[in-house]
C-alpha cells in the first residue's frame, strides 16, 4: 500500500518516544469547484492538498500533529510533536480518558461511481452551468442567478500500531442552481435542489441526476412570485415539511444532539451540549412512535459513506431513535467505551490536517406509509414549506426556529396560495412527538449537507440526512416578522 | 518559512506563467489549539500547512489552481493548470487589470515571536489555570487556548509584491454550574497577555451570578449587550457593506448611500490597524487596505471594494478583496465600532428594567434585506431592575433587525476585541432599546 514505509516510520517514532498507541492517516485530496454567476464564471478552481496527521496516546491522553512535509525528517518531527502534545495533555488532565481502537482491519474501500468526473471535459461542465444559470434568470426581477458544481476526491491511507492498514477512495459530488429576485423593497431567493443543491457520494451521475437545466427557469419564476406573495401568516398551524427541510430538521435536532462528545460536554464552549443526556438513554420519548432515526454509514449515496471511519472503525448501522425512543448516539472509541458501548464508526476529520472527531454521518428517518399527496388530506388549516433559508437552535438543541424559502397555504386538504418568508418554531421533543405522518419511500431522498461546522479548530463535515416529507400538528408558524 | 522564501517561490511561479496576467499567493501557517472539557484535553492539536494559489487571466478569462506542494515541478504544474482552466472560461467584460500594489506596513504588534514559538506546555498552563478556577468554584468547564503564526506573500504580474507575518492567541471558556453557566474570552497577538486565571474567574463569576435563573416573558426589552454579544450580532451586518451586496441589491442600504439608518451615536469603521486587532495591511490582491468609515454618526457612507467592483462601479479600490476565486465579493473583515461616552456600568445604572446579555448563540439571517436575524442568548443572561443586576434569567430567542437595533443603540466607552472565523471586531458594550425576544427555552 502507498505510504507504507513512511507510515511505519511515523508509528515507530511515536512508540519510541513514549506513545502507547499511535495512528497515522495520509490523505491526498482534490477539490474542484465551478460557480457561474450572472453569466460570468466567478469560480473555476482546482485545488490539491496532501499531507498526514498523526495521533499519539500517552498516559491516557491524546496528541495530534499534522504536516505536509513527507520527508523522513518531516515525519520524525511530526511524530515527536504529536507525542509532546499528548504529554502536555496528560500533564494537566485530571484523569486518563483516551482509548485506542480494539480491532484492526486490513481492507480497501472505493466509492461506487457510474461516471468518473475526471473524464467529463471541463467545457461540458461549464456549459451545463452557464445554461442552467441563464435559465434561472427567467424573469427581469432575477438580479442574481448562480449555478455551481463541487467535486471531491479523497484518497486515504490509515495505519495504526495495532495493525490496521486501510486504503479508501471516497468521491462526492454536488451541484445546484439559485435565483435571487429583487424588487418591491424585498429580496427573495430560491434554490434547487433542496436548499444547498444536491450533494451525494458518487461521480458525475450525481450532477446529472440533479437536472439543473430542467428546473432552473421554475426557481427564477418562484423567486419572482415571492416578491409579491403575501406574508406567511402567524399562529398555530399544521405544517407539512418537504423532504429537504425534514433533512435539516433531523440534522439540527437529532444528528447534533446525538453526538456523544457533545453529550459529554466536550463541545460545551462552542457547539453546545445536548438534551439527550445519558440518563435519558432508552427512556426519553424523543418523538412519536412513527419516528425512527438510524445511523447508516453504508448507505448508497450517503456523503459520509465509507468503509472505515478516521480512527479505523468499520462502518455499519445503528439506531439513535427507534419507534420514538432514544436508543443510541454517534460515537468514537473512547466516548463509546466511557458508556460501556462500542464505537459505531462516526469519527471523521475534514482533511489530513485536522484531528478526527465525532461527526454526524449518514442519518435516515425511516419512511412512513402515506403517499406524499395524501399528507395534505386531513389538514384543514396548514402551511407546506420547502427549502431551508435560516436555521437556529439553542445550545442544548431544544428551542429551534427554522425558516424556508417558500411556502403554500393548505386549506381543507388542498395546497393553496403561495406565501413568502415562512418560518416555524418549537421545542425539539414536542415537535417530533407532534409528527403524525411521514410520507412513504417513494418520496424518501438522501439529502447531503456539504458544510456542517463543528469543533475547534472548526472543521467542515459532509453529512447526509435521508428523509421523506412529514406532517407535524399544532406548530408555531410565522415568527420573526412581528415587528 | 521567511517572507524572502515565500517571495522567491512567488517569483518562480510568475516567471513560469505565460498568462496575460498572473497573481500568486503563497501562505504558510503553524497553528496549535488545546481544548479541554471536564478535566481532560479532548483535542490537543497542531498543524503546519503550506499553500500556493495561482490566478491566471488570459483574454479576460480567469482560472485558479492551488496546491500545497511547493516543489519546483509542482509550482510549474499549478501555473499551467490555472492557465488551462482560464482557457475554458467565458470572457468577463468587467475583468480589471490586477492592482499594482503599493507600500504597506504591518501594524505594530501584529507579529509576536513568543506566540509563534509557544510550545504545548505553555498552552496547557493557561488551560490549567482556567480549570483550577472552575474547580475552586465546584464548576466544570470547557474551553480552549490557541496560538498561531501565519505568513502570506502576494505577487502579481502588475508588479505588486506584499508580505505579512502575523500571530494570534485566543482563549475562551464556558464555566458550568448546577443550573447556570458563564463565559469569558481573551484575544491577543501576544500569548503572554492571555491570563488564564483571570478568564477563569470571569467565567466563574458569571456562572455564579446567573444561578437559579428565573423565567422572564419574551417581548421588547432594553438590553445591554456585552462585547461578545455585540460582536456576534454585528458580524451578520458585515456582508451588507460589500460592494457586491450593494450592487446586487441585497444590502439593506442598496441605492441609499449617505442616508441615516442608525443612531447618531453609531460610527462603524473597517480598520485593519486597530491596536487591539492588528491585521494584514493589504488585501488578497496585494492592494493596500484603506481604513474605511462605513457609517459616520448614523449615516451610511461607504461600502468596501476590490479591483473588480472598483472597475465595475467606477469607484476607488478600498483593498478588501478576498482570495480568488471569490464569488462573495469584497468584504469588511476588521470592523471597529467607535466607543461612546458613558461607561458600561453607567448604561446599566441608567436602565430601569432590562436584560444584560453576555453572549449569543447560533445567529442566523431570517431576512436578508431587512437584516433580521434570530438567535439565542447563552452563558450569562441577567435581569436589570432599577439600575442594578438582580439575578440570572433563562435564555431567550430573539428576532431582531440589526438595522433597527442600531437605530436605538448607545455604545459604552469601552473597547474589546472579539470575533469569529476569519474576521475581527473591536466593539464596546452597547445598550439597545426595544430589542425583540420571541420565546424562551428551558435553561
* B376·A395 Cβ contact <8 A: yes
CB atoms within 10 A of CB B169: 25
Residue B89 confidence (pLDDT): 86
Strand pairing of A165-183 and A142-160?
antiparallel
Same domain, B196 and B283: no
CATH code of the domain containing B163: 3.30.2290.10
Instruction: With CA atoms as reference, report the closest residue to A99 among A337, A363, A389.
Output: A337
Select from B170, B190, B209 the last residue of a domain.
B209
* A265·B440 Cβ contact <8 A: no
Residue B88 confidence (pLDDT): 85
Residue B94 confidence (pLDDT): 82
Same domain, B43 and B135: yes
Select from B190, B209, B228 the last residue of a domain.
B209
Same domain, B70 and B33: yes
* Tally of domains in chain B: 2
Q: Are A253 and A470 in contact (CB under 8 A)?
A: no
Instruction: With CA atoms as reference, report the closest residue to A360 among A321, A399, A332.
Output: A332
Q: What is the pLDDT of residues B33-47, one digit of tens each?
A: 999 999 999 999 999
Enclosing domain of residue B171? 3-209
- Structural domain includes residue B114: yes
* B368·A390 Cβ contact <8 A: no
**Is the minimum CB–CB distance between B85 and chain A shorter than 8 Å?**
yes
Chain A residues closer than 8 Å to B34 by CB? 85, 88-89
Same domain, B53 and B176: yes
Same domain, B270 and B290: yes
* B143·A269 Cβ contact <8 A: yes
Chain A residues closer than 8 Å to B181 by CB? 268
* A399·B443 Cβ contact <8 A: no
Same domain, B313 and B365: yes
**One digit per residue, pLDDT tens: chain A, 483 residues?**
899 999 999 999 999 999 999 999 999 999 999 999 999 898 998 999 999 999 999 999 999 999 999 999 999 999 999 999 999 999 999 999 998 998 999 999 999 999 999 999 999 999 999 999 999 999 999 999 999 999 999 999 999 999 999 999 999 999 999 999 999 899 999 999 999 999 999 999 999 999 999 999 999 999 999 999 999 999 999 999 999 999 999 999 999 999 999 999 999 999 999 999 999 999 999 999 999 999 999 999 999 999 999 999 999 999 999 999 999 999 999 999 999 999 999 999 999 999 999 999 999 999 999 999 999 999 999 999 999 999 999 999 999 999 999 999 999 999 999 999 999 999 999 999 999 999 999 999 999 999 999 999 999 999 999 999 999 999 999 998 865
Strand pairing of B360-367 and B372-377?
antiparallel
- Structural domain includes residue B102: yes
Angle at A227 between CA A221 and CA A230, to 5 degrees: 115
Same domain, B187 and B291: no
* Cross-strand partners of B443: none
Domain ranges of chain A: 4-227, 235-477
The residue of B41, B126, B131 whose CB has the most chain A CBs within 10 angstroms, and thus the best one to mutate to test that interface, is B41
Distances (CA, A) of A178 to A110, A138, A141, A142, B10: 32, 12, 13, 10, 36
Same domain, B257 and B185: no
The more confidently predicted of residues B422 and A222 is A222
- Structural domain includes residue B214: no
Domain A4-227 architecture: 2-Layer Sandwich (3.30)
Q: What is the ipTM of this complex?
A: 0.95
The residue of A27, A268, A334 whose CB has the most chain B CBs within 10 angstroms, and thus the best one to mutate to test that interface, is A268
- How far apart are the C-alpha atoms of B154 and B13, rounded to whole Å? 11
* B68·A64 Cβ contact <8 A: no
- How far apart are the C-alpha atoms of B214 and B382, rounded to whole Å? 9
Residue B149 confidence (pLDDT): 98
Chain B residues closer than 8 Å to A407 by CB? none
Instruction: With CA atoms as reference, report the closest residue to B401 among B424, B432, B358.
Output: B432
* B183·A269 Cβ contact <8 A: yes
Select from B209, B229, B256 the last residue of a domain.
B209
Same domain, B273 and B308: yes
Distances (CA, A) of B27 to A141, B54, B68, B150, B323: 41, 12, 9, 7, 11
Same domain, B249 and B371: yes
Chain A residues closer than 8 Å to B119 by CB? 84, 88
* Residues 6+ positions from A292 with CB-CB distance below 8 Å: A319, A321, A322, A323, A324, A365, A366
* A50·B176 Cβ contact <8 A: no
Same domain, B226 and B324: yes
Q: What is the pLDDT of residues B201-221, one digit of tens each?
A: 999 999 999 999 999 999 999
- How far apart are the C-alpha atoms of A297 and A475, rounded to whole Å? 32
**Is the minimum CB–CB distance between B31 and chain A shorter than 8 Å?**
yes
- The grid coordinates listed for B25 are 499567493
pLDDT at B367 over 70: yes
Query: Which secondary structure element, helix H or strand E, spans residue B420, and what is its range?
Result: strand B416-420
CB atoms within 10 A of CB A341: 15
* A95·B39 Cβ contact <8 A: yes
- Nearest by CB to residue A390, choosing from B92, B128, B374, is B374
Instruction: With CA atoms as reference, report the closest residue to B322 among B248, B422, B245.
Output: B422
- Structural domain includes residue B361: yes
**Is the minimum CB–CB distance between B142 and chain A shorter than 8 Å?**
yes
- How far apart are the C-alpha atoms of B362 and A394, rounded to whole Å? 7
- How far apart are the C-alpha atoms of B138 and B178, rounded to whole Å? 9
The residue of B25, B45, B93 whose CB has the most chain A CBs within 10 angstroms, and thus the best one to mutate to test that interface, is B45
Residue B420 confidence (pLDDT): 75
- How far apart are the C-alpha atoms of A211 and A192, rounded to whole Å? 9
* Residues 6+ positions from B408 with CB-CB distance below 8 Å: B263, B432, B433, B434
Residue B44 confidence (pLDDT): 98
Chain B residues closer than 8 Å to A480 by CB? 366-367, 372, 374, 399, 438
Average pLDDT for chain B: 97
Q: What is the pLDDT of residues B137-177, one digit of tens each?
A: 999 999 999 999 999 999 999 999 999 999 999 999 999 99
- The grid coordinates listed for A103 are 480491532
Cis peptide before A2 (omega within 30 of 0): no
* B66·A35 Cβ contact <8 A: no
Amino acid at each position: 500500500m502507498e505510504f507504507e514505509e513512511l507510515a511505519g516510520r511515523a508509528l515507530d517514532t511515536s512508540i519510541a518516544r513514549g506513545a502507547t498507541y499511535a495512528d497515522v492517516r495520509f490523505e491526498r485530496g482534490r477539490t474542484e469547484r465551478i460557480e457561474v454567476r450572472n453569466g460570468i464564471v466567478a469560480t473555476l478552481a482546482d485545488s490539491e492538498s496532501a499531507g498526514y496527521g498523526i495521533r499519539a496516546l500517552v498516559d491516557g491522553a491524546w496528541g495530534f500533529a499534522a504536516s505536509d512535509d513527507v520527508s523522513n525528517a518531516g515525519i520524525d518531527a511530526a511524530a515527536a510533536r504529536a507525542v509532546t502534545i499528548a504529554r502536555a495533555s496528560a500533564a494537566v488532565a485530571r484523569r486518563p480518558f483516551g482509548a485506542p481502537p480494539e480491532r484492526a482491519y486490513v481492507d480497501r474501500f472505493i466509492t461506487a461511481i457510474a461516471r468518473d468526473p475526471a473524464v467529463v471535459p471541463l467545457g461540458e461542465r461549464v456549459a451545463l452551468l452557464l445554461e442552467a444559470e441563464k435559465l434561472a434568470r427567467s424573469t427581469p426581477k432575477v438580479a442574481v442567478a448562480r449555478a455551481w458544481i463541487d467535486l471531491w476526491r479523497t484518497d486515504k491511507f490509515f495505519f495504526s500500531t495495532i495493525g490496521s492498514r486501510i486504503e479508501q477512495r471516497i468521491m462526492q459530488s454536488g451541484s445546484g442552481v439559485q435565483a435571487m429576485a429583487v424588487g418591491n423593497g424585498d429580496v427573495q431567493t430560491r434554490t434547487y435542489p433542496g436548499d444547498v443543491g444536491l450533494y451525494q457520494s458518487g461521480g458525475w451521475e450525481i450532477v446529472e441526476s440533479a437536472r439543473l437545466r430542467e428546473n432552473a427557469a421554475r426557481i427564477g419564476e418562484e423567486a419572482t412570485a415571492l416578491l409579491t406573495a403575501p406574508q406567511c401568516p402567524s399562529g398555530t398551524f399544521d405544517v407539512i415539511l418537504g423532504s429537504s427541510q425534514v433533512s435539516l430538521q433531523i440534522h439540527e435536532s437529532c444528528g447534533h444532539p446525538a453526538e456523544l462528545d457533545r453529550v459529554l460536554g466536550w463541545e460545551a464552549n462552542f457547539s453546545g451540549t445536548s438534551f439527550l443526556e445519558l440518563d435519558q438513554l432508552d427512556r426519553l420519548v424523543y418523538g412519536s412512535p412513527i419516528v425512527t432515526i438510524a445511523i447508516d454509514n453504508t448507505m448508497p449515496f450517503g456523503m459520509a459513506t465509507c468503509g472505515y471511519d478516521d480512527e479505523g472503525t468499520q462502518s455499519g448501522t445503528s439506531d439513535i431513535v427507534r419507534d420514538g425512543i432514544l436508543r443510541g448516539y454517534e460515537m468514537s472509541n473512547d466516548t463509546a467505551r466511557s458508556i460501556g458501548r462500542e464505537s459505531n464508526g462516526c469519527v471523521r476529520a475534514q482533511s489530513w490536517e485536522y484531528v478526527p472527531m465525532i461527526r454526524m454521518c449518514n442519518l435516515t428517518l425511516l419512511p412512513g406509509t402515506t403517499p406524499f399527496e395524501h399528507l395534505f388530506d386531513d389538514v384543514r388549516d396548514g402551511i407546506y414549506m420547502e427549502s431551508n433559508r435560516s436555521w437556529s437552535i439553542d445550545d442544548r438543541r431544544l428551542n429551534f426556529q427554522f425558516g424556508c424559502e417558500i411556502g403554500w397555504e393548505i386549506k381543507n386538504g388542498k395546497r393553496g396560495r403561495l406565501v413568502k418568508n415562512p418560518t416555524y418554531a418549537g421545542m425539539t421533543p414536542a415537535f417530533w412527538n407532534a409528527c403524525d405522518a411521514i410520507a412513504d419511500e417513494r418520496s424518501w431522498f438522501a439529502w447531503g449537507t456539504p458544510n456542517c461546522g463543528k469543533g475547534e479548530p472548526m472543521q467542515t463535515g459532509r453529512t447526509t440526512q435521508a428523509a421523506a416529507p412529514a406532517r407535524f400538528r399544532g406548530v408555531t408558524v410565522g415568527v420573526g416578522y412581528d415587528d | 518559512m521567511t517572507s524572502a522564501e515565500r517571495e522567491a517561490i512567488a517569483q518562480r511561479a510568475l516567471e513560469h506563467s505565460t498568462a496575460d496576467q498572473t497573481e500568486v499567493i503563497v501562505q504558510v501557517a503553524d497553528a496549535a489549539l488545546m481544548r479541554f472539557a471536564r478535566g481532560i484535553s479532548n483535542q490537543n492539536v497542531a498543524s503546519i500547512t503550506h499553500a500556493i494559489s495561482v490566478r491566471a487571466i488570459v483574454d479576460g478569462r480567469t482560472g485558479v489552481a492551488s496546491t500545497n506542494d511547493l516543489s519546483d515541478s509542482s509550482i510549474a504544474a499549478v501555473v499551467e493548470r490555472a492557465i488551462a482552466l482560464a482557457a475554458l472560461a467565458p470572457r468577463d467584460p468587467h475583468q480589471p487589470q490586477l492592482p499594482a500594489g503599493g507600500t504597506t506596513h504591518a501594524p505594530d504588534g501584529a507579529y509576536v515571536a513568543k506566540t509563534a514559538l509557544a510550545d504545548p506546555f505553555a498552552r496547557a498552563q493557561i488551560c490549567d489555570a482556567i480549570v483550577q478556577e472552575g474547580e475552586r468554584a465546584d464548576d466544570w468547564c470547557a474551553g480552549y487556548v490557541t496560538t498561531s503564526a501565519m505568513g502570506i506573500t502576494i505577487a502579481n504580474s502588475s508588479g505588486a509584491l506584499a508580505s505579512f507575518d502575523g500571530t494570534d492567541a485566543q482563549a475562551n471558556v464556558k464555566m458550568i454550574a448546577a443550573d447556570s453557566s458563564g463565559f469569558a474570552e481573551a484575544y491577543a497577538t501576544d500569548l503572554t497577555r492571555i491570563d488564564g486565571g483571570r478568564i477563569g474567574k470571569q467565567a466563574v463569576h458569571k456562572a455564579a451570578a446567573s444561578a437559579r435563573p428565573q423565567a422572564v416573558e419574551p417581548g421588547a426589552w432594553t438590553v445591554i449587550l456585552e462585547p461578545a454579544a455585540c460582536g456576534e450580532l454585528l458580524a451578520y451586518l458585515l456582508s451588507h457593506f460589500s460592494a457586491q451586496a450593494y450592487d446586487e441589491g441585497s444590502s439593506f442600504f442598496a441605492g441609499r448611500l449617505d442616508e441615516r439608518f442608525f443612531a447618531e451615536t453609531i460610527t462603524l469603521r473597517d480598520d485593519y490597524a486597530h491596536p487591539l486587532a492588528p491585521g494584514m495591511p493589504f488585501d488578497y490582491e496585494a492592494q493596500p487596505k484603506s481604513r474605511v468609515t462605513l457609517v459616520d454618526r448614523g449615516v451610511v457612507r461607504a461600502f468596501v471594494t476590490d479591483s473588480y467592483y472598483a472597475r465595475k462601479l467606477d469607484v476607488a479600490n478600498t483593498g478588501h478583496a478576498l482570495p480568488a476565486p471569490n464569488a462573495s465579493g469584497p468584504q469588511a473583515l476588521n470592523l471597529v465600532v467607535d466607543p461612546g461616552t458613558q461607561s458600561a456600568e453607567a448604561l446599566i445604572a441608567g436602565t430601569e428594567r432590562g436584560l444584560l446579555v453576555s453572549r449569543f448563540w447560533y445567529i442566523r439571517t431570517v431576512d436578508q434585506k431587512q437584516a433580521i436575524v434570530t438567535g439565542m442568548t447563552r452563558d450569562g443572561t441577567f435581569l436589570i431592575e432599577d439600575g442594578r443586576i438582580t439575578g440570572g434569567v433563562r435564555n431567550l430567542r430573539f428576532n431582531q433587525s440589526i438595522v433597527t437595533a442600531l437605530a436605538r443603540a448607545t455604545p459604552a466607552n469601552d473597547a474589546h476585541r472579539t470575533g469569529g472565523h476569519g474576521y475581527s471586531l473591536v466593539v464596546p458594550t452597547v445598550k439597545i432599546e426595544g430589542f425583540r425576544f420571541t420565546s424562551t427555552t428551558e435553561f
